[in-house]
Amino acid sequence: MITVVIIDDDPFVTKSLQTILESTKEIRVLGIGHCAKDALVLYETHRPDVLLTDIRMPKQTGIDAAKEILAKFPKAILLLLTTFKDEEYIREAFSIGVKGYLIKQNLQAIIPSVKSAYNGQAVFGNEIIETFTQMMKNKPTIDSHAYASFSERELAIIKEVAAGKNNKEIADALYLSDGTVRNYISQLLEKLDLRDRTQLAIYFYQHLQ
């Protein structure tokens, strides 16, 4: 059973999300809040597997709440949910280590996104990936020094991680075992002093894309 806390300043949205999530027996909603302060309190109280929060809320944003939670609980799984594709929010979401950034209109993606995040995958909707990729096009070309510091196999794995694939999908694509992929990713995170797969994907878009 995956446990979830939902944060949104609109009660209709929180109720709708609860109904959607609990339509499967695999997910249970432990609490609902309506502001950034509620997010921290409810996370500390319930320690859910996944916290799903809106971004634009009165006084503090969902990103503010995410920063506070991750400062206290670095392994927290947080998903940002919004109606906006604001570049600054997307940049911050990638940089602070949340596990996903989803557009509210894509409600059919909520359940699989929660499950994927729970299983360790970064979850960014196609709209968000497209926006982030466009943002990165404005950056300088490939960092040749960074590129040269990786083997061909490492580069292939980083690229697959950035595409949002899980270990099994990467293993199938590169004809490797799941364990080998897992070891490569652990070594890459240590080599680059990164926290998780999301930051590895960011590294790819910033330095290797």
Architecture (CATH level 2) of domain 140-208: Orthogonal Bundle (1.10)
Q: What's the pLDDT at 126? A: 63
- Which residues lie closer than 8 Å to 154 by C-beta, 6 or more apart? 184, 188
Name the DSSP letter for residue 96: H
By residue count, the chain amounts to: 209
Q: What's the pLDDT at 185? A: 93
Q: What's the pLDDT at 175? A: 93
Report the relative pairing of strands 78-82 and 2-7 from DSSP bridges: unpaired
Q: Which H/E stretch holds residue 45?
A: helix 36-46
| Higher per-residue pLDDT: 161 or 205 | 161
pLDDT tens-digit profile of 82-136? 776 666 677 777 777 788 888 777 778 889 989 988 988 878 766 666 665 565 5
Domains of the chain, by residue range, sit at: 2-135, 140-208
Indicate the angle between helix axes 152-162 and 167-174, nearest 10 degrees: 140
CATH code of 2-135, in short, is: 3.40.50.2300
In this predicted structure, the answer to whether residue 5 has a pLDDT above a threshold of 60 is yes
| pLDDT > 70 in the chain, percent | 86
Query: Alpha-carbon distance 49 to 195, whole Å?
Result: 18
Of 82, 69, 85, 12, nearest to 36 (Cα)?
69
Query: Alpha-carbon distance 197 to 99, whole Å?
Result: 9
pLDDT band at residue 18, thresholds of 50, 70 and 90? Answer: very high
Mean pLDDT of 26-33: 96
Of 111, 112, 98, 114, nearest to 199 (Cα)?
98
* Other C-beta atoms lying within 10 Å of the C-beta of residue 103: 16
| Higher per-residue pLDDT: 188 or 128 | 188
In this predicted structure, the answer to whether residue 139 has a pLDDT above a threshold of 60 is no
| pLDDT > 90 in the chain, percent | 48
In this predicted structure, the answer to whether residue 189 has a pLDDT above a threshold of 80 is yes
